[in-house]
Chain A
Amino acid sequence: MIGWLRHQKHALTAALRRLRMQALTTLLTALAMGVAISLPTGLYLVLGNLSGLAGDLPAQPEISVFLDTGVSTAQKQAIAARLKQADIAEARFVPKDDALAALSAAQDLADITAGLTQNPLPDAWIVRPHSTSREELARVADALGKLPGVAETHLDSQWADRLQAALAIGRTGVWLLTGLFAIALVAISGNAIRAQVLARRDEILVSRLIGATDRYIRRPFLYVGALQGLLGGLAAGGVLAVAGGILRAPVERLAGLYGSAFHLLPPTPVEIVAVLALTSLFGWLGAWFSVTRTLRQAEVAR
């Protein structure tokens, strides 16, 4: 155990020394990784902000229930009875004459409504259910729509549903991008490590001759890969912080124009740690593939 720890420490210091000795290469690789990583993580942050925005909207979802023009009195009473059930918080009846009057007054459409020979609007109920969850709203609207005498129901939160659907697509996109850029990360790391393995051919050869195991030879390269991945993750953090700094003022101005006090949400510590852990993991993975493959080739050449 102590020997194992000693080997890990030794490999870590060797890896740090190698990274420091090739500071420029390290920096450029970290930058390439950072730009690659910042795309999916940036999209992730944008989506997080958008769903935060959607969640912040004043939620007074209402269901408009439009009745058939030929609805019978019995049906009307049945509907009114249904709207007194426990899942409905409030229900307001809007007779079609009131609706027409309101339309004429409110929207300055008196000329048009005056020309009508009969009222084209249906009687309606404006219903506010107790629950504000989207699933529950959809269920209530669906149930009301199936009552006899109801022509159609209209859920006011439909635009929010559409936004949610769009965000869901966006989230799928994030995972797709993450997958693609994880591959890119493994490739960048693998390539950098391959160059290092080739540059250290002599050292590897000599180490093998004096009793180094493959594991001993591989270990510092794995640390280099993981550290390089970590630096890439930090570089991505830097890229996003700069982008956030540039975007903050215009976004808050736009939100202000809509009368909202919306602020850009920074990533949570958990998210930051998760991204850094993932980039380190993929850097490590790229190094592992590269070293294992190059060592096997060296084996054949020997």
Chain B
Amino acid sequence: MISFSQVTKRYPGGHEALSGVNLAIEQGELVFLIGHSGAGKSTLLKLIAAIERPTSGMVSVSGQNVGRLSHRAVPYLRRNIGLVFQDHKLLFDRNVIENVLLPLDIAGTDRREALKRARAVIDKVGLLKREKANPVSLSGGEQQRLCIARALVSRPALLLADEPTGNLDAGYAADIMAMFRDFHQVGTTLVIATHDDRAISALGGRTLRLDHGKVGEVSA
């Protein structure tokens, strides 16, 4: 589903976040990216979602050369990818359900169908009682679950999560990870960047270690 071939990403100023990375991720896989901060985990995820473009090499997602994707085609790629951010990136001028509805509005889904799907996914992350609440009033863990609900509401085949438990205490983090395991079991491909070793051991799956821009496989 995802393949990197000789991918290098150099930022303006000369910092090389990834150097000559090769990797392949199959459909339905659960993959953890680990490594110290600044090792290039976020960059790798951003390349998959076309938020950044590779300096050289080829990134391909579902057969599309993402690095060469035209500006107009990028939105349609992203509609098939759910993104979970460490800082949630929620919109505080609207309530919980409106945040979850945003991807469906963007895709032009019928309103009634959209509401149904939004409620279903909010229920799944356990926020149904808070659907009219403003995200400001939610705890950190709840905000992260809301972010996950928004990422999943359009039923993407691929979910990318950048430090999803980075700001959460252990109880919340275990919650979130259990949720990811459920999605993995229904066939979603997940790529999760984290430095939370407990989570990895609990869930199993494949682990890739990034170190100074190079990727290495970690045997379980």
Chain A contact residues, CB within 8 Å of chain B: 3-4, 6-7, 10, 202-203, 205-213, 216
CB atoms of B108 and A211 under 8 A apart: no
* Sample of 20 further A-B pairs with CB below 8 A, known A209-B83, A211-B103: A4-B108, A6-B108, A202-B89, A203-B91, A205-B89, A207-B106, A208-B75, A209-B49, A209-B51, A209-B78, A209-B89, A210-B102, A210-B106, A211-B77, A211-B106, A211-B107, A211-B154, A212-B106, A213-B72, A216-B75
**For B107, what are the chain A residues with a Cβ–Cβ distance below 8 Å?**
211
**For B169, what are the chain A residues with a Cβ–Cβ distance below 8 Å?**
none
The B54-106 residues at the A interface (CB cut-off 8 A) are 72, 75-79, 83, 89-91, 93, 102-103, 105-106
**For A210, what are the chain B residues with a Cβ–Cβ distance below 8 Å?**
78-79, 83, 102-103, 106, 150-151
**For B90, what are the chain A residues with a Cβ–Cβ distance below 8 Å?**
206
**For A206, what are the chain B residues with a Cβ–Cβ distance below 8 Å?**
89-91, 102
Measured CA separation A244–B51 after assembly (Å): 58
Measured CA separation A155–B108 after assembly (Å): 71
Measured CA separation A149–B151 after assembly (Å): 98
**For A207, what are the chain B residues with a Cβ–Cβ distance below 8 Å?**
102, 106
Closest residue on chain B to residue A7 by CB atoms: B108
**For A205, what are the chain B residues with a Cβ–Cβ distance below 8 Å?**
89
* Shortest beta-carbon contacts, A-B, top 9: A211-B79, A211-B78, A3-B108, A213-B75, A212-B106, A211-B75, A210-B103, A206-B89, A6-B108
CB atoms of B110 and A212 under 8 A apart: no
**For B102, what are the chain A residues with a Cβ–Cβ distance below 8 Å?**
206-207, 210
Measured CA separation A216–B102 after assembly (Å): 12
CB atoms of A203 and B83 under 8 A apart: no
Closest residue on chain B to residue A3 by CB atoms: B108
**For B76, what are the chain A residues with a Cβ–Cβ distance below 8 Å?**
211
Q: Which of A207, A208, A211, A213 has the most CB of B within 10 A?
A: A211
Closest residue on chain A to residue B76 by CB atoms: A211
Measured CA separation A196–B102 after assembly (Å): 19
Measured CA separation A206–B72 after assembly (Å): 17
Within the complex, what minimum Cβ distance (angstroms) separates A203 from chain B?
Answer: 6
Within the complex, what minimum Cβ distance (angstroms) separates B208 from chain A?
Answer: 23
Measured CA separation A7–B79 after assembly (Å): 16
CB atoms of A212 and B91 under 8 A apart: no
Measured CA separation A13–B6 after assembly (Å): 47
CB atoms of B110 and A6 under 8 A apart: yes
Measured CA separation A207–B108 after assembly (Å): 13
Measured CA separation A11–B182 after assembly (Å): 35
Q: Which of A4, A202, A210 has the most CB of B within 10 A?
A: A210
Measured CA separation A197–B75 after assembly (Å): 19
Interface 1/0 per residue, B104-116 and A, CB below 8 Å:
0111101100000
Measured CA separation A202–B91 after assembly (Å): 7
Measured CA separation A10–B111 after assembly (Å): 10
Which of B83, B89, B106 touches A216 (beta carbons < 8 Å)? B106
Closest residue on chain B to residue A5 by CB atoms: B108
Within the complex, what minimum Cβ distance (angstroms) separates B118 from chain A?
Answer: 14
**For B72, what are the chain A residues with a Cβ–Cβ distance below 8 Å?**
213
Q: Which of B49, B78, B91, B106 has the most CB of A within 10 A?
A: B106
Closest residue on chain A to residue B99 by CB atoms: A206
Measured CA separation A203–B89 after assembly (Å): 9
CB atoms of A203 and B93 under 8 A apart: yes
Measured CA separation A202–B106 after assembly (Å): 16
CB atoms of A212 and B75 under 8 A apart: yes
- 22 residue pairs from A and B, CB less than 8 Å apart: A4-B108, A6-B110, A6-B111, A202-B91, A203-B93, A206-B89, A206-B91, A206-B102, A207-B102, A209-B51, A209-B78, A209-B83, A209-B89, A210-B79, A210-B103, A210-B151, A211-B75, A211-B106, A211-B107, A211-B154, A212-B106, A216-B75
**For A7, what are the chain B residues with a Cβ–Cβ distance below 8 Å?**
108
Measured CA separation A7–B77 after assembly (Å): 19
Interface 1/0 per residue, B39-55 and A, CB below 8 Å:
00000000001010000
Within the complex, what minimum Cβ distance (angstroms) separates A1 from chain B?
Answer: 11
Within the complex, what minimum Cβ distance (angstroms) separates A143 from chain B?
Answer: 69
Measured CA separation A6–B51 after assembly (Å): 28
Interface 1/0 per residue, B142-165 and A, CB below 8 Å:
000000001100100000000000
**For A213, what are the chain B residues with a Cβ–Cβ distance below 8 Å?**
72, 75
